[in-house]
Amino acid sequence: MRQRRSHCVWRCLFAILLFLPLSISAVASQRAFYRIPSADDAALTRLPTGSRVRHRSDGWALVEIPAEAHARLPYRSEFVALVRADRDYYWVGGLRGAPSGVEVLLTSGDYALVSTPIGEEWRLDGATAPHAHVVLEPMVRAVGSAVGRAPAAVPTLGREALLDDVAGSFDADRWFRHIETLADNDGTHSRYSRRVRQATHHNGHPPPDDAADRAADWIADQLRSYGYAVEDDPFRHLLYATDGDLLAEYRMRNVVATKPGTGFHRNRTLVLTAHYDSKATNTEGWEDQWRDRPAPGANDNATGVATLLEAARVFADKPFDYSIRFAFFSGEELGLFGSRHYAKAARDRNDDLLGVLNVDMLGYDADGVYDLHVIGDRNSEWMLHAVEALSRRYGNRLDVQPERDPDWVFSDHAPFWAQGYSGISFAEETDFESSEFYPQYHSEDDLPVHVTRAYGVEAARFVLVVAAEIGGVLVPEGPPSGGDGVQVFGASAFPNPYVVGGSRPLRIQYQLNRPADVRVEVYDVRGARLLTQEYAADSPFGRSGLNAPIIWDGRDAQGEPVPTGLYFVRIRASDESGSALDRALRLHVVPSEAYLSKPKSRISPNP
């Protein structure tokens, strides 16, 4: 009996030894989601080899790592779930319970990480706020700060007059006619992105018409009429059954036009985006009859397309420091497919994008309080500050609400965030559960008659002003000719916004048409003077035609970094005849600590 028992023990040990390498291999190949308690760049650069950032929020990040590497994560990291090959993962907003087949893995305020059986996204229908779920994809460039990508905008002579001209050139009637034209779309009353000419169905269903392509053609024609060269940016969209069989293939396309910059930063590009596709899934029976049923999409998102078209028209004859690109995306309503394709291609090309301004639904107000929501992430905070500063002069009737919310990833700005680019999104409402949320959303009743025209005009005009300011609209410059007085031209302050303690100093430059005594001053909004530098007419910086660099370290008289906010640079020149001229520039300043401080849910007002 003892010999038999001993023999059994050895057989069990031998089996364990044989199985052990297989077990280790299985564990080694398993991946897991963890929530790490810090989302700063330092923490993300120290992740174990093979890690991927899947979502970056304020104060934490969701990472996918090899399961056996969990011991090398930061202290107090939280296990979320093992990654399963038979599940799809989504980031959702406004989760309503957990329907059959949907697993809730993580919640954070109004947002959640969920999974469904692969290919069964339909299980989320009715379980989240409308349109508030997107596929969770790896962030390609999760590490990086706005310090390195803040724009070196060039405020120029007559900046406020230029922006006044942009605002005054906005044509409200044309904007609304564009909405009506897009909602009708040559009698199809739809811009659903699967209604394209190049479509192949493998399930025996009839081919669709070309409604989406007609809309794209019309947008391209408008851009050409303003003098732009237009590019098609095609991408393939595949539709699979839940069993993995390919049901259909569609060739969709983005429509893109670029206005080349003429300034020093012409090789950097500001991208203005809006999606032109529509759907009406909130109308009963529409999903089975989309080939013939309307999806007019007047508010969502003909209002955004009309805003970009007005920007393209108004900007056509104006010089800009940066290049301005207008990108009209398809496939947004299916899951941001057009913008995901474009943002990835931009990163693959290593495009130098200054930032992205996305416009999605600017046409509805319920209570007469014209609130305009502007959403950014940590990397885009400089853009939010620019929006806030501009709102004081150009907001008019708007209640502009800049907010840092990296969890709000439900429109075409989000793929650019994932690629490491700055970007902000404009919308009438971002709370899908709000009583002000558009009642005709994703329905056959999303018609121009329901667009609050007065609100939409105010919001769209403001978007144009923001784009002109960030894109650096310029006065055609050169040494002034004629006139008896001293002239200051080529005035600029860069980088703008300026990061105190960053890697680049602030430089203030100007040129003169004749020798003059020059005083350069920096003030805060209360009028306190922070810098004074004076140069005589016979000094190098007072002579005619010299490009004079003035450097400020971003500190006050006590040597402390100035707080975040709006500042002013004044350049005063006076010549021997007694003629004097002042030039004023606006300057956005952010201390480097502000980028590393505790995240805020709302951008604090400038002092």
Burial class (CB in 10 A: 0-12, 13-18, 19+), 588: buried
For residue range 251-282, list pLDDT tens digits in order: 999 999 999 998 778 889 999 999 999 999 99
- Retrieve residue 570's tokens: 């004044």
Range in 77-91, 190-204, 367-381, 481-495 with the lowest mean pLDDT: 481-495
pLDDT at 362 over 90: yes
Task: Tell me if 586 sits within 8 A of 390, measured CB to CB.
Answer: no
Taking alpha carbons only, the member of 436, 442, 432 closest to residue 127 is: 432
Q: What is the Cα–Cα distance from 482 to 51, expressed in whole angstroms? A: 64
User: Mean pLDDT across the stretch 581-589?
Assistant: 78
- Under DSSP, the state recorded for 152 is B
Q: Is the pLDDT of residue 486 over 80?
A: no
Strands 398-404 and 565-574, how do they pair?
A: unpaired
Comparison of pLDDT for 320 and 490, the residue scoring more: 320
Average pLDDT over residues 246-253: 95
Higher pLDDT residue, 139 or 195?
Answer: 195
Which pLDDT score, from 0 to 100, does residue 408 have? Answer: 94
Paired tokens of 170: 């906005």
More confident residue, 251 or 528: 251
Give CB contacts under 8 A, 24+ apart, made by 429-434: 429/361, 429/364, 429/371, 429/373, 430/373, 430/375, 430/403, 430/405, 432/93, 432/94, 432/129, 432/130, 432/131, 432/132, 433/94, 433/129
Average model confidence (pLDDT) across the chain: 84
Question: Residues 524, 530: contact at Cβ < 8 Å?
Answer: yes
Phi/psi at 333 (5° precision): -70, -15
The neighbour count for residue 2, using CB atoms within 10 Å, is 6
Q: What's CA 221's distance to the chain center, in Å?
A: 26
| 83-109: pLDDT as tens digits | 999 999 999 888 887 788 899 999 998
Residue with the two structure tokens 């009309």: 306
The confidence score (pLDDT) of residue 313 equals 96
Q: In the prediction, which pLDDT does 410 show?
A: 93
Please state, in angstroms and rounded to a whole number, the distance separating the CA atoms of residues 183 and 190: 7
What percentage of the chain reaches a pLDDT higher than 90? 50
Instruction: Please tell me the least confidently modeled range out of 123-132, 382-391, 419-428.
Output: 123-132
The model's confidence at residue 566, banded by pLDDT at 50, 70 and 90, is confident
**Count of C-beta atoms within a 10 Å radius of residue 302:** 31
Domains of the chain: 161-471 (3.40.630.10), 488-595 (2.60.40.2550)
CA–CA separation, 277 and 331 (whole Å): 6
pLDDT at 213 over 80: yes
Number of other CB atoms surrounding residue 184 within 10 Å: 17
Q: Which whole-number Å values give the CA distances from 418 to 137, 172, 382, 407, in the listed order?
A: 8, 34, 18, 12
Q: Would you state the structure tokens that stand for residue 110, as one six-digit string?
A: 């109004």
Q: Give me the helix-helix angle, 159-169 and 303-315, nearest 10°.
A: 130
Angle (nearest 5°) at CA 521 between 519 and 525: 150
Position 150 scores a pLDDT of 45
Per-residue pLDDT tens over the stretch 313-356: 999 989 898 999 999 999 999 999 999 999 999 999 999 999 99
- Measure the CA angle with vertex 424, ends 423 and 429; round to 5°: 155
Q: Are residues 530 and 562 in contact, defined by beta-carbon separation less than 8 angstroms?
A: yes
Query: How does DSSP assign 216-237, residue by residue?
Result: HHHHHHHHHHTT--EEEEEEEE
Q: What is the mean pLDDT of residues 453-459?
A: 97
281-290, 303-312, 343-352, 487-496: the lowest-pLDDT one? 487-496
Q: Given this model, what pLDDT does residue 341 score?
A: 97
pLDDT-derived band of residue 544, with 50, 70 and 90 as boundaries?
Answer: low
